Amino acid sequence: MGQKSQRNNERTSFWRDEQGDIGIKQIAITVGVIVVIGIIIGAMQGQMGSWLTRIFDTLMGYIDGLIQ
C-alpha cells in the first residue's frame, strides 16, 4: 500500500506542477467563442447577398440622383 500511495502522490504532484497560463476553462471558452463566431458567420452568409444587393442598389440610386 505504501508504493501505491507514493505513485498517486507523484502523479498528483506532476499535475500540480504542470499548471501553466492556459487552463481547461480558458481552452473551453476559446472553443466556445470560435463556435459562436462560426454560427454567426453561417447565419449571415445566407443573407449577405441580399444585403450587398440592397446597398449597391441604394448607392447606385443615390449616384443617379446626383448625376441628373
Which parts of the chain sit beneath pLDDT 50?
A: none
pLDDT value of residue 2: 54
Alpha-helix runs per DSSP H in the chain: 2-17, 24-67
pLDDT value of residue 45: 78
Which grid coordinates belong to 41? 458567420
Distance CA 34, CA 29 (A): 9
Show me where the domains of the chain are located.
23-68
For the whole prediction, is pTM greater than 0.85? no
pLDDT value of residue 13: 60
